Structures are given as structure tokens and as C-alpha cells.
Amino acid sequence: MDRIPALAMPMLGRPAANALTDGYWAAARDRRLVVQECSDCGAHRHPPTAVCYRCGSRRWGWGEVSGGGSVFTYVWIDSPMHESLAAIVPYNVCVIELDGTQGDPVRLVSNVIGVDRDTLRIGLPVQVGFAAVDNGALMLPVFRLLDTV
């Protein structure tokens, strides 16, 4: 999948290590998008939790998804809440609904890169890419409009 060399978003922190979420970030370093998949009923879920909301199972693994999806909703953040964000406003934060998952819809918070306020709309198809942070020590899943990939 696409690798996006420079990230506009100045991350204020780094994800803390955690048994539930480390696999997500490890897969992203390999430029793969994964979500939790129940080993018993197959329902996908995100963000990670210890138990399946559908069948109650505590057994789970990582299910790789295509990285395709659509814009479910978005907001343009015009007022920076931190000085480090002042240079990049306005930026969007989107909720992306992923294609090809089982169970309740699986949605991720992310940024859609390379889009302006007149173009971004609910329902537009998007594809995941990975933005390198800290020289690639962290790869952050972000999205681009499908017709610009």
C-alpha cells in the first residue's frame, strides 16, 4: 500500500505500549491496516477491546482489511488547540467507515490527506495510506480520496 513520506499532522504524543493495541501499530509499520477480529463469530471491532460485543468471546486475532472505505463524517478544525497545530489549521478529522468488515460497521478516526474544504464530502470513497512519523518508527494510517490515489 501507499506510503506517504511526510506527515502534516504534528503528533503531540506517541501511542503508549499496550497488549491490546501494539499489534495494530506493528501492522501499520508493515503498511498493513488491521482491525480486531473475533476468533469465534468473526465480528470485527475497533478500537481494540478485550471482549467481542456480539458473542462475548475473549478470543481474537488481527484481521487485515483492504484499506478501502468511505467518509462517514468529518470536521474541519479551524481553531488550533495547541501551538504546534497553528501552522496546519484548518485540518480535517474524518470518521472512515471501512469496507469488507463483519458485524456492526467498523469506523476509524483519521485524516483525509490532500483534500480541501470544497472537495471533502460524506460518502466519498477513500483508500488508506501510511504516514511516516519519527523516521518510520511509527506509521500512521491516513486516507486519501480514491480518485487521487
Partner 1 sequence: MRNDVAVVGVGHTTYGKRGELAERGTFALATEAIAAACADAGIAPRDVDGYSGFADEAIQPAALATAFGAPRLRYAGMVWGGGGGGVVGALVNASMAIVTGHADYVVVHRALCMEGESGRFGQQMLHTAASGRLAPAAAFSASYGLFTPAQVFGLATRRHMHLYGTTIDHFAEVAINARLMAATNPHARFRDPITMRDHHDSRLIADPMRLLDCCMESDGAAAVVLTSAQRARDLRRPAVLLRAAVMGSPYRYGSLGAPESDYASSGQRQVGEDLFRQADVRPDEIDAAMIYDHFTPMVLMALEDYGFCAKGEAGPFVAEGNLRIGGSLPTNTHGGHLAESYIHGMTHIIEAVHQLRGTARNQVAQANLVAVCGAGGVSPTSGCILERAR
Q: Where does this chain bind partner 1 (CB under 8 A)? A: 9, 11-16, 18, 20-21, 45-48, 53, 72-79, 81-82, 85, 88, 90-91, 93, 95, 104-111, 117, 122, 140, 142
In the complex with partner 1, which residue's Cβ is closer, 30 or 104?
A: 104
Specify which residues 107 forms β-bridges with.
Answer: 97
| Least distance in angstroms from the C-beta of 70 to partner 1 | 12
Nearer to partner 1, 21 or 39 (CB): 21
Sequence-ordered list of residues with C-beta below 8 angstroms from that of 131, at least 6 positions apart, any chain: 4, 6, 7, 9, 113, 139, 140, 141, 142
CA distance 75 to 34: 24
- The secondary element (H helix, E strand) that includes residue 93 is strand 91-98
Shortest reach from residue 21's CB to partner 1, in Å? 4
Nearer to partner 1 among residue 95 and residue 149 (C-beta): 95
Instruction: Please give the full DSSP string across 127-138, using - where no structure is assigned.
Output: EEEEEEETTTTE
CB of 123 to partner 1, least distance (A): 8
Minimum CB distance to partner 1, residue 66 (Å):
18
Q: Are 91 and 113 in contact (CB under 8 A)?
A: no
Provide the minimum distance between the beta carbon of 80 and partner 1 in the complex, in angstroms, as a whole number: 9
Q: Which is nearer to partner 1, 5 or 82 (CB)?
A: 82
The residue among 138 and 149 lying less far from partner 1, judged by its C-beta, is: 138
Q: For residue 102, which of 47, 57, 23, 37 has the smallest C-alpha distance?
A: 37
